[in-house]
Chain A
């Protein structure tokens, strides 16, 4: 370990500094004058909810987006990243959640794919590739043979290769965007050892994570973002978790949400000990008429997977489902729709509409069993159904017979929502209902969800957005790693408690 012996650089000049960075997208201010500084040999944890602007910052830092305002300084000198290559040349590299590696290629090929050293004739200089890969792996204190194929490595070793790949561009500033999201505890430990080595080599590390225990374990500094602003930063030592959570969620939530007080009716659906072979275990909850039941948790906690199994996309391996007092089995989405359960998927673009088909055919698609007789379609009934929901949502289109692909994004969304409500469901499952919607439209969506609940529809709402969950739900189930981490009543809804339950620190069970 040649470089690790070198003393920790002690300097007040940050290796990299971003000052007053702003970036807006149509309808959204993603970053609003944020400052952040990264120091050599230090790990800075970037903390914030979904939508706080973390990813935008990473993309500006890696040259994918250009900031609207503000400056970036490396070693105190201003730099300009016009593209991703500029950022790499300045020594910035990023390790993402899912780094793409190739099983059938060798370790060295994976590390140098796309920027392999060449001979004078322009061929790949395999000798140099293998030698440099070996040197890089050695610098990470690993003795992986660079010539073996990636598929023969363990998961932890693959991560090491991914990191070596990131470092192969002579990086000084390393961004780790939720590197632990898919790792077991043991793998996380291995990863942290690597991070320690990088620190000793004098690299500045930006560490993005939702998990507080990890942040406290590895980070020297912290920076908290909220709604596109930097709301706090400094040395982590001596700062309590509660303070950080407060910075993260600190805002008044209640007044912004038009949640109507609904007197809840009888239990409509009860889910009993639902278990999936890999995604979730022993999930039980009851849904009442007119209730908005929130499911909160980190991405990957198993929230969408539960909803998909309730809708028949996947099948649980154990558990019972009781709908209005009768036990039912849902084996396909057709069964679910027939039982009155519909699912509005998160990816409304990909899973929502058949763009080539006309509006009216999209709206009637899940309701065809009602608008047809013995296998034959009834165009008049389809049109009537479509007209009803097009009017309800104020759909703007030349005619109901034009393809959905010709509509604007907002109108496409209306078609997608309309087609689900046209099935006259009893239970509506909404997966991230406002993800990707600008702030103005969010309020309209929330008002609409509230209205549906007060009409007696029962709603299961999956969301990663804390204000939405807290503002809209009658009850909230928090999920962590496939398990229920508790069900919280509306009266006791406390954003900080939800975050704690979801991130797994302090065993708070209501």
Chain B
């Protein structure tokens, strides 16, 4: 049983999250009430969406550190658009958010693909650039709730079947990403490009282009989150979502997505996000300070990395033994 759980990270996470919920509800009755659970899920929606984009990138052996800066810039852009042209229908705002996000993501992708720069360097650079662009765009000013239109603010809050539309958006994105990752050529190319880039090249997969597309997905989802974030917190300023890129990476790592690429699942990214969401929502309930929260999250991330590394050693062992033996017998002569 235990072995089975260890093999399937996703099931293990479900069990851990359930145990956490049960434990917290003994301290604070009502924590596990459906209304509160729906609340926690809604609260975690933005992280889930960002983590799914991050997952696609990490699976290709890359990383996207610019997602939070993308959220800030896109959020600022659409908030200003809404404030300047209150007559624009929400669908145009949404399209703008997705489009701006996609362009920023594609920019990362192009740099990684065509200039062959390591993604951590590229996105560390664009992280600063995108946030700087948000500052330039807004002149350092804020867009406040009273400048935003009613549909802009209220649409994600509409409750449908007990869950706000924000939560439903996350569910929709989860379903779409599941489809992309498991049913499309692109999804397969993403797994192959990260799992063994050399083998992927020999199989006719354009690894650079695949990475580019993964970054574009990540950017598009970050753009969507830009709107969702500004609408949820009813304010746009340069520093929104500061440091949130690390939460998205943490969610992936906790969810069992290997930072070496090629291993991980949509379910893992979602559960990793939910785990962080539950911790974040539960700790204040049992009177643990935000600083301890950070320490606890950090410890969990390290534990997850250690766990991942052990899993990978088991799963990824290369046993083309004949080949190894040959190198012992007669190396490159």
Contacts and interface: CB of A to CB of B under 8 A. Distances in A.
Interface of A: 25-28, 30, 50-56, 59, 65, 97, 177-178, 208, 299, 311, 313, 332-334, 336-338, 343, 345, 347-357, 361, 365-366, 368, 372, 375-377, 403, 405-410, 412-413, 419, 435-438, 441
B187 to A, nearest CB: 8
A435 B326 contact: yes
Contacts of B316: 355-356, 405
Interface in B304-321: 315-321
Contacts of B203: 333, 337, 365-366, 419
A436 B316 CA distance: 21
Contact of B192 (A28, A349, A357, A409): A357
Interface string B198-230: 111111111000000000000000000000000
Contact of B185 (A26, A352, A375): A375
B185 A376 contact: yes
Contacts of A419: 203
B116 to A, nearest CB: 16
Contacts of A65: 328
A372 B205 CA distance: 14
B185 A377 contact: yes
Contact of A412 (B186, B262, B319): B319
Given A353-B199, A354-B191, A376-B185, A366 B326 contact: no
B196 interface: yes
Given A349-B320, A357-B195, A368-B185, A337 B204 contact: yes
Contact of B188 (A25, A311, A368, A407): A368
Contacts of B154: none
B262 A299 contact: no
Contacts, number: 155
A65 B330 CA distance: 12
A343 B185 CA distance: 22
A412 B320 contact: yes
Given A334-B206, A354-B192, A376-B184, A51 B329 contact: yes
Interface of B: 183-188, 191-192, 195-196, 198-206, 262-263, 315-333
Contacts of B331: 55, 59
The 9 lowest CB-CB distance pairs between A and B, nearest first, are A436-B326, A349-B320, A409-B321, A354-B195, A334-B204, A366-B203, A436-B323, A365-B203, A337-B204
A337 B325 CA distance: 31
A348 B329 contact: no
A372 B198 CA distance: 22
A374 B38 CA distance: 37
Given A97-B332, A350-B199, 16 more contacts: A26-B325, A50-B330, A53-B329, A59-B328, A333-B202, A347-B323, A348-B320, A352-B199, A353-B199, A354-B196, A356-B191, A361-B191, A372-B184, A375-B184, A377-B188, A408-B319
Contacts of A53: 329-330
Contacts of A410: 322
A332 B330 contact: no
A376 B183 contact: yes
A342 to B, nearest CB: 9
A419 B317 CA distance: 20
Nearest to A312: B204
A225 to B, nearest CB: 11
Contact of A407 (B319, B322, B324): B319
Contact of A55 (B188, B320, B333): B333
Contacts of A332: 204, 206
A412 B318 CA distance: 10
A56 B331 CA distance: 8
A352 B197 CA distance: 10
A350 B197 CA distance: 9
B165 to A, nearest CB: 28
A405 B315 contact: yes
A436 B322 contact: yes
A299 B333 contact: yes
A343 B202 CA distance: 7
Contacts of A311: 202
A349 B318 contact: yes
A254 to B, nearest CB: 24
B86 to A, nearest CB: 39
B315 A356 contact: yes
A170 B96 CA distance: 72
Contact of B325 (A25, A350, A353, A376): A25
A299 B195 contact: no
Contacts of B326: 435-437
A409 B185 contact: no
